[in-house]
Structure 1
Amino acid sequence: MSSPRTARTLLAIPVSLALLGLAPSGPSGLISIHSPSRVSMATADSLIRVSAAPAVSPALTSPTTDAALARLVTRGEAPAAAMLARDDSGSRFARAGDGIARSDHFRAGSITKTFLATVVLQLAAEHRLSLSDSVDDHLPGLVRGAGNDGRRLTLRALLTHTSGLYDFTADTKGAVPVTPLQAVHIALTHPPAHRGRFAYSNTNYVLLGMVVEQVTGDSYATEAERRIITPLRLTGTSFPGTGTSLPSPHGRAYSADGSDVTALDPRVAGAAGELISTLDDLDRFYSALLSGELLPSHWLREMLDTRTAHGSYGMGLFPVKLPCGTTVWGHNGRISGSYVRTAATVDGRRVLTFRVNTDGPADQDREPALLAAEFCPRTS
């Protein structure tokens, strides 16, 4: 593990982009990308160094994607960035800047929501709950106050962010550790937004975590470990609970002002964003989920159905339509010192996860450009 550095020192380090060829392997709301930034290939060529490792799969070789990744660092938007792409033919890792390795553990933020939504839908498939259940059916009397009423809110509304519940992190700024009850009570001091409209709120998933525990007798973390992490052998993925440190190996994490925030109390996010993972594990998880390994086909279709949220969100997943017409599915995760994004084709056969070791790209066009570079067909 490298010693702490200031963001200014890291940004002054010349960019080195390394590509490692590997043997083949066995809200946000709806974002429509109409005019992705053009990437300078001359700049990319000067940054890319191909390793002497085994040959990279031609299907995964993407100088345009690598250049888009490098721009996150050359433009000073992150100390370091990394990505891992995979499809049926193999996987490819690339990084820009200093301080990130492929095997690193990092905080995955709201990608936690995809794991939790998967658990809830598995419980629905087992008839242990129904998406039409009210919040009150499982947490009687909890959601009351300032016009909020759990008797009128369904689990479907929580999953799709159409409950109207206030986002508790708007008050805590994602910096104050709270218990689930405290998070809900903060939200209930505010009147709800218009019920039925999409409004992203971390409070929804804190409540879903509580529902899972009420239904199963175990925490959402225990259920996710048993149902997802262990079967898929996601050995780098965990729910830290109250632990403030990252497992080894890991790099450093920096807030937008350059402060080292590697140590962080995950209760700032709880069930809405506490997950720790790796690039390999997130690629594996989303590939398995979308290919039907974790949910029966009916429930996977429910997860991908965005009609309740008027096209903006499914259940723990959201779609992005790229300029070439391809739609990718996944989620992003933002927590102090870490931003990660996973996107995949709807069949899970092609997937990309990228991350930066700070709060996120300042230029919001960077992410759409990177996704378009990776998933849109390229012509010679």
Structure 2
Amino acid sequence: MAVQPSDGTAATAAPGYRQGDLRLDTDAIRTPGVTGVQARVTTVSGRDLVATAGVAVAGTNRPVPRDGYFRIASTGKALMATVILQLADEGKLSLDDTVDRRLPGVIDGNGNDGRKITVRQLLQNTSGLHDDLPGFDTPQAYYQHRHDTYTPEQIVARAMKHHPDFRPGTGWSYSNTGYVVLGMIAEKTAGRPWQEEVERRILKPLGMHHTYLPGTTSTLRRPHADGYQVFTSGERTDVTEQIVPDLGGYVSTTADVNRFFRGLLGGKLLSEARMAEMQDTVPVDKRIEMFWPGGRYGLGLVSRPLTCGGSYWSHEGGEAGYITLNGATDDGSRTVTVSMSTSFNDPGKTLRQHKAASGLVDRALCDTAGDGQGK
């Protein structure tokens, strides 16, 4: 169990959220059966509190690495949204452009109409595009399909087999497919692969040297905790090795995720006007609100209320045995990332897991007394 500050100095009895608090909160996340947890709080001074709990590999005593790699899944949507907003800042596209203007004929059929969906609606999850992403319901399906690959066009084609969830702009529904379309728009607008845009616009400027896309490599760099999925049958399966569609496939560390939110909210990536648009939120649907009580969705950024008043910004992710929750204050001066190396097909356990991790984020962001004292 790692409970010391990241610089190796001894924890003190300074007021505010301290190392011992982080350790207790990290331990509590394991209650539903989570195999391993790592959490990092980056304080106003830039110094970190780090704690881990559980094990890196089930059935062993191997500790969870303090700086381990994990799949950040939908946290990558905040990266994509930032690229799109930068392109808008540069006048290369408008958020009110229709999809059809940028990608003629791509969204069509079964009531889907790219002439009626805007870039803003894709970012905001108000496009109505139905999600039909590949996934694993059983261990057998995992072993059979873990190395399958999909192009963006194939993922969009799956969605086109379904009617929209609602008319564009009249509802809210989480749509991974919508963000796949945004990647296609970014690529066509910039004239280069969207992954390169993320690299040159975000990862390099912020020094996120431990964030990467594995591509068709199914394994993670070391060190890492293995990722597990507990299926409906109750069977726990190591699902670390698989190929994840690109936008959901980013691998990172708690330090790098904190670095991203610190940079984004600290004004290093977007103009004030674009940041305001990113933070213009709408209510989420009832299913998602179970996991984000009081949560609202902006343009690739989530607002959630703090128990101490005000709100924080985040974008969680869940993929391939890894669940990530994160949060940052309005100015990005205090950030938190929690990585859990187990996902559940049981909704009840998933909700308990989210509540415990959300509680950690809330307490770490609320109790800031003594920040900057190296506690």
Normalised by the length of structure 2, the TM-score is: 0.83
Alpha-carbon distance, 1:78 to partner: 0.6
Q: State the match for 1:375 in structure 2.
A: 365
Unaligned runs of at least 5 residues, structure 1:
1-16, 24-52
Aligned pair partner of 2:188 in 214, 231, 239 = 214
CA deviation after TM superposition for structure 1 residue 71, in Å: 1.3
The separation in 1 between residues aligned to 2:307 and 2:90, in whole angstroms, is 39
Structure 1 SS opposite 2:174: coil
Paired position in structure 1 for 2:244:
266
Give secondary structure in 2 for the equivalent of 1:21.
coil
Task: Quote the Cα distance in structure 2 between the aligned partners of 1:286 and 1:149.
Answer: 34
Larger displacement relative to structure 2 (200-209 or 188-197) = 188-197
Contact 2:69 2:222 in 1 (8 A): yes
List aligned pairs for 1:127-206, cutoff 5 A. Answer: 127-169=91-133, 177-194=149-166, 195-196=168-169, 197-206=171-180
In the alignment, structure 2 segments of 5+ residues that lack a partner are 57-63, 286-294, 370-375
Matches of 2:122 and 2:136, distance apart in 1: 20
What's the secondary structure of 2:199's corresponding residue? helix
Which moved further from structure 2: 370-379 or 348-357?
370-379
Q: CA deviation at 1:62?
A: 4.9
> Does the Cα contact within 8 Å between 2:254 and 2:337 map onto a contact in 1?
yes
Name segments (4+ residues, structure 1) moved above 4 Å: 170-176, 307-311
Q: 1:82 is matched with which residue: 38, 43, 56? A: 38
Q: How does 1:222-261 map to 2 (within 5 A)?
A: 222-256=196-230, 257-261=235-239
- 1:249-279, Cα deviation, whole Å (9 max, x unpaired): 2231111232111111012xx32x1111011
Alignment CA distance shift 1:170-1:238 (3 Å): closer
Q: Given the alignment, which residue of 253, 258, 272 partners 1:278?
A: 253
Structure 2 matches for 1:352-371, cutoff 5 A? 352-359=336-343, 362=350, 363=352, 364-371=354-361
Q: Secondary structure at 2:49's aligned position in 1?
A: strand
CA gap of 1:309–1:368, structure 2 versus 1, over 3 A, is closer
Query: Does 1:345 pair with 2:345?
Result: no
**CA separation in 1, counterparts of 2:135 and 2:117?**
22
The corresponding residue for 1:28 is none
Residue of structure 2 equivalent to 1:55: 10
* Contact map agreement 2:186 2:194 (CA 8 A) in 1: yes
Give the CA deviation at 1:170.
7.3
Judge conservation of contact 1:290–1:348 (CA < 8 Å) in 2: yes
Question: Does 55-64 or 109-118 show the bigger shift?
Answer: 55-64
Distance 2:208 2:131 in 1: 30
2:270 aligned counterpart, secondary structure = coil
| % identical equivalent positions | 35
CA RMSD of aligned residues (A): 2.3
State the alpha-carbon separation in 1 of the partners of residues 135 and 32 from structure 2: 29
* Aligned mates of 1:365, 1:262 — CA distance in 2: 24
Q: Distance in 1 between matches of 2:199 and 2:90?
A: 17
Alignment length, in residue pairs?
A: 331
Q: CA deviation at 1:241?
A: 2.1
Structure 1 residues 378 and 180: CA distance shift in structure 2, 3 A: closer
Alpha-carbon distance in 2 for matches of 1:136, 1:338: 35
Q: TM-score, normalised by structure 1?
A: 0.82
1:292 and 2:248 correspond = no
Shift in Å, 1:171? 7.5
Deviates more, 1:175-184 or 1:137-146: 175-184
